[in-house]
Amino acid sequence: TYQIELENINKYYGGYHALRDISLGIEPGEFVALVGPSGCGKSTLLRTIAGLEGISGGTLRIAGETVNDRAPRERDLAMVFQSYALYPHMTVRRNLTYSMRLKRRSKADMERSVEEIARITGLESLLDRYPRELSGGQRQRVAMGRAIIREPKAFLFDEPLSNLDAALRVHMRSEVRQLHNRLNATSVYVTHDQIEAMTMADRVVVMRAGVVEQMGAPLDLYDRP
């Protein structure tokens, strides 16, 4: 479990100043939600942590090491998106092991990992199904399983539940949070849904127009007029 530190992060898209001097420390094991109106820079911030987006200034540290110039695959983070990005022609099992195959892990080793991930994500009975044979929540669990199987240092979630219907969304909130706890992970979770942020996060960071406007524990923010 790892600390993520942002120090004076700035990001320009051409002349547009999308992230303005953002400083933020995320503690090992913490679950932080990033909220704010559309266009305020939530995704951009998440993508800079992932290394999918370069920064124009500032320092980004993961587990104490500066990663500004590291490629995404060298940052040991797992992203979970709202589009599940599963391979439709592969079973759940193959979807889970695909990235391990590329890493040339032994067959026995992969089997062990798949069983463990299936247990954690509740996919034991679904390993031989294809994505089209799964519900939205089950697909999202496969997507999370694929992220976990990489044994990442931290999770970056970009509105992972926004494609699900309301009831499932509420259920998956607690599933994601339980997963975070069980793995003792560090998580950054982008959502435009304030209730989601309040119910899931240890700390809520509110962004507006490229700056951090306020942050605090859900109840502290909630009590504020």
Q: Compute the least distance from the CB of residue 126 to ligand ADP, in Å.
A: 19
Binding stretches for ligand ADP (CB under 6 A)? 13, 16, 18, 36, 38-44, 72-73, 77-79, 98-99, 102, 146-147
- Number of C-beta neighbours around residue 83 at 10 A: 11
Nearer to ligand ADP, 54 or 219 (CB): 54
Q: Compute the least distance from the CB of residue 14 to ligand ADP, in Å.
A: 7
Q: Give the chain's radius of gyration (CA, Å).
A: 18
Nearer to ligand ADP, 78 or 176 (CB): 78
Q: Compute the least distance from the CB of residue 134 to ligand ADP, in Å.
A: 18
Q: Compute the least distance from the CB of residue 167 to ligand ADP, in Å.
A: 25
Q: Compute the least distance from the CB of residue 29 to ligand ADP, in Å.
A: 20
Nearer to ligand ADP, 56 or 219 (CB): 56
Nearer to ligand ADP, 83 or 178 (CB): 83
CA–CA separation, 186 and 184 (whole Å)? 7
Nearer to ligand ADP, 36 or 131 (CB): 36
Q: Compute the least distance from the CB of residue 76 to ligand ADP, in Å.
A: 9
Which residue's beta carbon is nearest to the bound ligand ADP?
Answer: 73
Nearer to ligand ADP, 74 or 220 (CB): 74
Q: Compute the least distance from the CB of residue 207 to ligand ADP, in Å.
A: 7
Nearer to ligand ADP, 16 or 166 (CB): 16
Give the closest residue to 76 by CA, choosing from 1, 21, 11, 153: 153
CA 111 to chain centre: 25
207 to each of 33, 127, 204, 213, how far by Cα in Å? 10, 39, 10, 5
Asked whether the beta carbons of 34 and 190 are under 8 A apart, the reply is yes
